[in-house]
Amino acid sequence: MRTQVGIIGAGPAGLMLSHLLARYDIDSVVLEARSREYVEARVRAGVLEQGTVDLLDETGVGKRMHDEGLVHEGIELRFDRASHRIPFPELTGGRSIMLYGQQEVVKDLIAARLAAGGDVRFDVSDVRIDKFDSAEPVLSFQEGHSSNRVELHCDFVAGCDGFHGVSRESIPRSEFTEYHREYPFGWLGILAAVAPSADEVTYTYTDRGFALMSLRSPQISRLYLQVDPDDDIANWPDRRIWDELHTRLAIDSEWSLTEGPVLEKGITAMRSFVLEPLRYGRLFLAGDAAHIVPPTGAKGMNLAISDVAVLADAVAHWYDTGSSTGLDDYSTTALRRVWRAQHFSWWMTSMLHRFPDDDPYQRQLQLSQLHYTVASQAASASLAENYVGLLRG
């Protein structure tokens, strides 16, 4: 088999890359280890930056997002039992965010690729990357239950297969640098069948730790609590979770948290990770294969989409002109946005969470930062600008 670009991973990065390349009349094959049913049901974050919304619209896959997604024009910050709103449009020249689940973006992209005759292969296994430092890298894999290996010859390989995928592991360790930060807390998240208790995403800082209210639809709420990353979810029956949410989210003005059946729950550790460079030979990394951010800044899927937008343009430029300038600059260009998102996510995380070694001095610094952020138009604008996403260019 032969294609122009072999793509490993049918998440938002891999599918969007295939979709963008098709608009340039560049062929691709997407390989995914899981079933279509699995990837379409894999619930992940759902905050879309303005630039991500615009790209989905520009490329013809935004209709259902507008029909079912929820536009948010701000967020709430709660601390000292008071709520403060950060209004996005007036601080960012009219930009906002969209709440639309990652799995819904994946569904839309899969449907678009299959409708256009795209080659997306699910349930493949034992993917290997060979000769990616040559002019014709080769992907080999097993398809379905067959014991026969398939070879896919490509001009380029895009590793969009996540943090635990084969792409990054295929690069010799001497060829890249990894940057890590492990946070001393995790998020206990629940999905509840109840109408959201707030109109916008709400971040809360308290003596007992961080809490977050978000939503997935007018009928489904997503809520989080800061907990020990090694805690056992069995220690958190539903009643304890709701009691803790009531305590942390409480404010002195009139407001109440509405409870409902918990559909799912789990604890996720918090970490940051960046790999540099994002290229080795003809292998290019994008999305979680290359970087992870804590979810406080709502950047994970948006960074993946941004990566492949840059990569698609670079690949198209190579086919059009024979120039490798865009490919050579891919890592530097993508990482500039990655590190900005890393800093913003670290800043939000550090400002809103309690750390094990906190003392009264540290608490006063956090409260001072929060007061400044909501009182200063410049500070509010900086938060808003980063949250809705940096302009492309």
- Could you say which of 203, 224, 280, 330 is catalytic? 203
- Could you say which of 196, 294, 295, 353 is catalytic? 295
Would residue 72 show up in a list of annotated catalytic residues for this protein? Answer: yes
Q: Give the closest residue to 306 by CA, choosing from 65, 74, 29, 12.
A: 12
Would residue 356 show up in a list of annotated catalytic residues for this protein? Answer: no
Angle at 103 between CA 8 and CA 109, to 5 degrees: 60
What are the φ and ψ backbone dihedral angles of 145, each rounded to 5 degrees? -95, 10
- Could you say which of 72, 107, 291, 353 is catalytic? 72
- Could you say which of 205, 299, 330, 353 is catalytic? 299
Would residue 131 show up in a list of annotated catalytic residues for this protein? Answer: no
Cα diameter, the chain: 66
Q: Are 373 and 91 within 8 A, CB to CB?
A: no
Would residue 330 show up in a list of annotated catalytic residues for this protein? Answer: no
Q: Give the closest residue to 45 by CA, choosing from 90, 106, 88.
A: 106
Q: How far apart are CA 387 and CA 362, in angstroms?
A: 25
Q: How far apart are CA 156 and CA 6, in angstroms?
A: 6
Would residue 184 show up in a list of annotated catalytic residues for this protein? Answer: no
Packing angle of the helix pair 377-388, 325-352 (nearest 10 deg): 130
Residue that is written with structure tokens 């032969």 in the block: 2
**Residues known to be catalytic:** 72, 203, 295, 299, 387
